[in-house]
Amino acid sequence: MSFLVDNKNLIDFAMSTEISSDSPEFVKIVEAMRYSALGGKRLRGILTLEFAKMFGCSIEEAMPYAVSVECIQAYSLIHDDLPCMDDDDMRRGKPSCHIAFGEANALLAGDALLTHAFSAISESDSAKKYPERAIKAVRILSGFAGFHGMVGGQVLDLEAAEQIVDEKTLSLIHKLKTGALIKASVLIGCAAAGADNELCVLSEKYAEEFGFAFQIIDDILDFDGNYNTCELNSYVKIHGLEKAKEDALCHIKSAFDILETIEKNGFYNPNLKELLEYLVKRMN
């Protein structure tokens, strides 16, 4: 799946260019931002690029949109690792931002990445060319990342941490905390390309199925074979490993079917099917 590596490299390069400063005053904050933002699989940015590409936008024009969603992803991970949240010392295979730079700097690096997400779009040449597409993307991203979306999901997740929640609540937490940013990634790709409403609705459905599968697979990968030490609200703990695998495959199949429907509308991108195969490989 060379497109995954190629896209990741392109996004890494764009992020590195974007998150930089020649001013000596800002060396410290930029260092902390770069420490956390230059890494990861870039799945969300890749979704943005591949949806934009499917609907006729060049990778170059879509890149500021991919950068913006990866800035939000990096900010959310920094804040999620803080002692007042999940209190994780490691992230992306190295010490978390607050371990490396201290809590206050990590908080600010997260804040700076969050705000930079929006200037990455609004300052771009793509926005100058198609301002209405940029405004739409900013609306989508701020909505899905905010209190109706990822932040709202994080609040529910914190509340649920100490208790077993019912299936409906757990599904809502996953839909918001993990799914919302995945939906935003896909929809800003659609916005970058100026895709029409019908295509956006279909793409959002793909994103929803992708998001559910991604979260279940994340829980499967976290499972070390012991149900007793498994996180309380892990999908695997609640449903068992076999059912979790079955359900992940079921969501992947639904996402595949939605791509077939999009294909019937005249738009096709084989990489989006490969991305689903990548999820299956990740699970097994």
Q: Which residues bind ligand GRG (CB under 6 A)?
A: 40-41, 43, 73, 76-77, 79-80, 85, 92, 150-151, 154, 177-178, 218
Pairing between strand 94-95 and 90-91?
Answer: antiparallel
Q: Which residue's CB is nearer to ligand GRG, number 40 or number 64? A: 40
| Closest approach of ligand GRG to the CB of residue 61, in Å | 23
Residues contacting 84, CB < 8 A, separation 6+: none
Query: In Å, how far are 39, 171, 184, 239 from 205, measured between CA atoms?
Result: 28, 16, 12, 24
* Position with the least CB separation from ligand GRG: 40
Please list the alpha-helical segments (H only) found in the chain. 2-18, 27-37, 43-54, 59-81, 97-101, 103-122, 125-129, 131-145, 150-160, 167-174, 180-193, 197-222, 235-239, 241-264, 270-283
The Cα–Cα gap between 284 and 273 comes to 17
Q: Which residue's CB is nearer to ligand GRG, number 64 or number 110? A: 110
DSSP 177: I
DSSP 214: H
| Closest approach of ligand GRG to the CB of residue 182, in Å | 9
Q: Which residue's CB is nearer to ligand GRG, number 190 or number 216? A: 216
Structure tokens at 150: 């990822």
| Closest approach of ligand GRG to the CB of residue 220, in Å | 11
| Closest approach of ligand GRG to the CB of residue 54, in Å | 21
Query: In Å, how far are 50, 55, 57, 160, 203 from 266, measured between CA atoms?
Result: 15, 10, 15, 43, 14
| Closest approach of ligand GRG to the CB of residue 174, in Å | 8
Q: Which residue's CB is nearer to ligand GRG, number 75 or number 130? A: 75
Q: Which residue's CB is nearer to ligand GRG, number 82 or number 135? A: 82
Structure tokens at 188: 């800003």
| Closest approach of ligand GRG to the CB of residue 160, in Å | 13
Half-sphere exposure (Cβ direction) of 223: Cα atoms closer than 13 Å: 25
Q: Which residue's CB is nearer to ligand GRG, number 77 or number 140? A: 77
Q: Which residue's CB is nearer to ligand GRG, number 79 or number 205? A: 79
Query: In Å, how far are 26, 29, 66, 115, 118 from 23, measured between CA atoms?
Result: 6, 11, 25, 19, 21
| Closest approach of ligand GRG to the CB of residue 10, in Å | 16
